[in-house]
Amino acid sequence: MLKNIPAILSPELLKVLCEMGHSDRIVIADGNFPCESMGKNAKVIRADGHGVPELLDAILQLFPLDTYVEHPVNLMQVMPGDTAKTPIWEEYKKIVAKYDSRGENAFGEIERFAFYEEAKTAYAIIATGEKAVYANIMLQKGVV
């Protein structure tokens, strides 16, 4: 047992977070994201039954965001013409603001198919049970 480690972070996920270096990226994916096909060259970690906000909050307690890029946090942009609402993004912005002084300025958006291409180069992808749409978030690791 370790002290002060959020219980939601599995030993496998802790190991991956520790292995990641500066500029490596991790995707916390919603339940609809094609984790296995996008993650053929990445470590895919199952976090079924957990939502993205809870994992994001736990990860950011340990994970520094990259200060050398404008947007170390990226969201999958809503497709033009899609009427989906993304209230979960406001939750993300509040969580990130707790850990990074840039707050919502740390966020960028990546077009859906470009996000998939970026996800294919991520160090790891976390497969969650998140039901919100467009709830995928990509984090770029900084320096401690």
Closest to 110 (Cα-Cα) out of 139, 76, 134: 76
Q: Which of 66, 92, 100, 134 is catalytic?
A: 66
Q: Which of 24, 71, 99, 116 is catalytic?
A: 116
H helix and E strand count, the chain: 5, 6
| C-beta of residue 39 within 8 angstroms of C-beta of residue 71 | no
116 included as an active-site residue? yes
Helices 52-60 and 88-99, interaxial angle, to 10°?
10
22 included as an active-site residue? yes
| C-beta of residue 126 within 8 angstroms of C-beta of residue 138 | no
List C-alpha distances in Å: 18 to 13, 41, 100, 118.
9, 18, 19, 21
50 included as an active-site residue? no
Which positions are annotated as active-site residues?
Answer: 22, 66, 116
